[in-house]
Amino acid sequence: MTPNFHGIIDSTLREGEQTPGVHFSQELRYEIITQLCQVGVEEIELGIASEKNSHLQDLFTFARKTSKGRQRLGLWCRCHSGDIAFAASCRPDVLSLSIPASDLHISQRLQKDRNWVLRTLRQAVAQARTLGIPFISLGLEDATRADPEFLCLLAKTAADCGVQRLRLADTVGIGSPATITKMVRMLLQQSGLPSGIHTHNDFCMA
């Protein structure tokens, strides 16, 4: 598959299982992968890169046999060195690193600053590239509440580091179709990178 493509990234095996009270058995995960491959979803996110998710190694083995190269297989990953190293051991086609973009997340949730975000981004991408990850996507958490200038700086920095795709997260579901369209165009102009979007519909604005 070509690096830049238009299609659906299915995150059922990650975000679906984050729903309160939901837990997928390995057999159910296999069934979900089988169904996604049958309907032709272009990219399947198999879960969160973390050593505690030891089921992922077997899940990748099953997914590779089932997809026969027709689907890209990915992982969602924090910009933590240990998580990135674990992700590389799974040999994903796509690694979706995630970094906070809004000041609310940066300062209030993490008690960090923008310089920390930029430094962490550079270090995480460098590690992923060194470990041989073939395709790196960068998720910008809470992008719809981020300062547009800082969002553009993150996008430019990502492009300079070797990121191949942005993924804009409307974390609290406040983005309208017009807002998301404007944001995607802005970041494409600033970075030249294609963008994926991850939206919630908390307020029925999608």
Summarised one tens digit per residue, pLDDT across range 128-150 is 999 999 999 999 999 999 999 99
Question: If pLDDT is split at 50, 70 and 90, which confidence band does 203 have?
Answer: confident
| 60 and 99 inside one domain | no
187 shares its domain with 116: yes
CATH of the domain at 159: 3.20.20.70
Does some domain include residue 81?
A: no
End-to-end CA gap in the chain: 29
Residue with the bigger pLDDT between 178 and 6: it is 178
d(CA 14, CA 32): 12
* 14 and 108 both lie in a single domain: no
Same domain for 34 and 113? no
* Domain annotation covers residue 2: no
Same domain, 202 and 109: yes
- CA 191 vs CA 5, 35, 58, 123, 156: distances in Å: 17, 35, 36, 19, 5
The domain in which residue 200 lies consists of: 93-206
183 and 115, same structural domain? yes
Q: What is the pTM of this model?
A: 0.94
Domain count, the chain: 2
Assigned domain for 82 exists: no
> Same domain for 158 and 201?
yes
Are 99 and 38 in a shared domain?
no
Q: Do 25 and 62 share a domain, yes or no? A: yes
Kindly state whether residues 113 and 153 are assigned to the same domain.
Answer: yes
In the predicted model, what is the mean pLDDT of the chain?
A: 95
Whether 181 and 110 map to the same domain: the answer is yes
Residue 28 located in a structural domain: yes
